[in-house]
Structure 1
Amino acid sequence: MNSNRLMRQNKLPCQQKGMTLIEIMIALLLGVFLLTGIIQIFISSRETYRVQEALSRLQENGRFAMDFIGRDIRMADYRACPTKPFLTDPVTFDRWGITGTNGAVNAANSALDAPDSITVRWSAVACLPASNAFVTHGYTIAVPASGISELQRDGNSLIEGVENMQITYGVDTDNNGTPNYYGQAGAVTNTDMGNVVSVRVSLLLYTIDNNVTPAPLAYTYNAATSTPALPDRRIRRVFNSTFTLRNRVH
């Protein structure tokens, strides 16, 4: 009886050890799925970070540019000596605490109008005899050898990534401190430039890094919409501000 039971026990299969080939293949397949998901999350997170970083830098550049321009515009026609007359052109005697030029107009798309420029002046010299010295600062858009357009102050690089600048001037025709109309430099006469009490500045900036977006991104500027051509895949933002000429408002 005992010998029969022992024989039956010896005929039982040995306990399995290790894994079969099918189990190994299933485990590898699951590992591939998990690894693919992790890689996708990493790529998505990296792209999101890259876009957010580009936008943050874009916002910072826009605020910095407006701060510089606004600070100088508000100083236009300042006189350290109140008894001295306002600054005037030595030839035409037109008041010229602020002057500007209007860039070439693109009839097909106003978003592509050439950038405007602006120059402001003020007197920082106290009431000293025979002293007509004044401070002058001019703002223009230029494209240096790097190919990244920039805002320049007195010919020196100030902010990179500034693509366009459009400026209009608020003219006070009835001397009440409030502009009666806004016009571009070419539309405002020299006489009316002496009555400008506020300036509207519109800047178009783009991200320094390219390939930020999957495809060229449309933007609206100067009341017109444009889509850049490949390989331009930058993000663009518009910054608008109105500055009061404090020294002309009474």
Structure 2
Amino acid sequence: MRTYYMHPNRRQSGFTLIELMVAITIGLLLLAGLSTLFTNNNAAQMEVERANRQVENGRYAMQLMTADLRSAGYYAEFDPEKLAMPAALTDPCSTNIADVRTGIALPVQGYDNTTSITCLTDRKDNTDVIVVRHTQTCVVDAADCEPASAGGPFFQASLCNNSSELGSNLVTNYYQINATNSGFTLHQRDCGVTANSGTPSNLRRLLTHIYYIANNSVGSDGIPTLKRAEIVSNGGTLSVQIVPLVEGIENMQIEYGIATSNMASPPVSSGVADKYTANVGQGCADTACIIANWSNVVSVKLNLLSRTLTPSLTYTDNKSYTLGLKADNQPNVIAAANDKYKRHVFSALIGLPNVAGRKN
């Protein structure tokens, strides 16, 4: 058997203290670099997500309001042009069924930077309010629509030409509005000469939507939010329901396109907006003129200011924003907030085809 002996000068050795300290220092430098890179990438990703959410919220708010405004004045087969104009502007917050009936004569009704609408909780100062009235395009209890049990109020239009409905030449017999889905007596075209014969007309839900900007989304979270007050009924009792829609919408300013032709006497609507104004009552000497102008609003210029939901630590918003015109026709300039939130303006010109189509 052969025996091996280790050379006396060949010994095992590790890192020296200096080498170990150099290795640790290099490792710490690499770790610091990677941490900085990760932090920067994470911050950049958060900024992208913050900006994307802001833009998406603004676009969704515009899409939501545009769709609702384009339906303004839709009452199925009933033509609201036949209605007499109300003697005074109806309180859109009223839960009186008679006021709801009166209100349908004005598909759109607005308030310029006002605080006088009592049912709007936590409304942000110096922002506009707009009321939109119409029926749903779907028929209650149809496969693509909510059931009657979801609540009203409800609207029914007559298609029957007998002496108790369309043939009566009384506008009050052309349609019916109730808080519940009972008590409706109007009929479709297959009705007979006598009353109460034929197929009942379809029921549609009557919508009164009041859009406004609230200071908070939930509680006192400080997130400005587009909200909507709705007139609803449960068990036959009308009430106001507040629905949060889109967070981060900080301001709303609106101009109204009024269609009148002063070439005629008395003036008649042309169906095309002759002027845009934030003050529909401008130039009017009485309430009748103001109400007539509201009935002739055929388009809307909608301006929304969207804000990020959380601040950006490295950003300061020192810009001012122009949201259309004020009631005196001067630019509506929103002063710089000088805070850490990023903002973006969304604007659109929205036609009201149901209203304009009846003016030609």
Normalising by structure 1, report the TM-score: 0.78
Deviation at 1:243, TM superposition (A): 0.8
1:155-234 aligned at under 5 Å gives the runs: 155-174=242-261, 175-185=269-279, 187-188=281-282, 189-209=290-310, 211-222=311-322, 224=333, 226-229=335-338, 232-234=339-341
Structure 1 residue runs without a partner (length 5+): 1-8, 105-111
Pair 156,193 (structure 1): closer, same or farther in 2 beyond 3 Å: same
**Amino acid of the structure 2 residue aligned with 1:164:** N
1:150 is aligned to 2:225: yes
Deviation at 1:113, TM superposition (A): 7.4
Is 1:50–1:212's contact at 8 Å kept on the other side of the alignment? no
Is 1:212–1:234's contact at 8 Å kept on the other side of the alignment? yes
1:72 to 68, 72, 84: 68
Deviation at 1:240, TM superposition (A): 1.1
**Partner of 2:207 in structure 1?**
135
Deviation at 1:247, TM superposition (A): 1.2
CA distance in 1, matches of 2:252, 2:305: 6
Shifted more, 169-178 versus 59-68: the winner is: 169-178
Secondary structure in structure 2 of the residue aligned to 1:125 = strand
1:35 to 25, 31, 34: 31
Identity across matched positions, percent: 32
Is 1:217–1:234's contact at 8 Å kept on the other side of the alignment? yes
CA distance in 1, matches of 2:84, 2:20: 89
Deviation at 1:74, TM superposition (A): 0.9
1:121 is aligned to 2:133: yes
CA distance in 2, matches of 1:143, 1:214: 25
Normalising by structure 2, report the TM-score: 0.56
- Aligned-pair RMSD on alpha carbons? 3.0
CA distance in 2, matches of 1:88, 1:45: 63
1:24-103 aligned at under 5 Å gives the runs: 24-85=20-81, 89-92=85-88, 96-103=106-113
Structure with the largest fraction of helix: 1
Larger radius of gyration between Structure 1 and Structure 2: 1
CA distance in 1, matches of 2:352, 2:131: 13
Deviation at 1:195, TM superposition (A): 2.0
Structure 2 residue runs without a partner (length 5+): 1-6, 90-102, 115-123, 136-154, 160-164, 166-172, 178-205, 230-241, 262-268, 283-289, 324-332
Pair 136,213 (structure 1): closer, same or farther in 2 beyond 3 Å: same
Is 1:87–1:96's contact at 8 Å kept on the other side of the alignment? no
How many residues are paired up?
Answer: 230
Provide, for residues 176-224 of structure 1, a one-character-per-residue CA deviation record: whole Å limited to 9, x for no partner: 4432221003554433222221101111121222x32414323432264
CA distance in 1, matches of 2:345, 2:30: 42
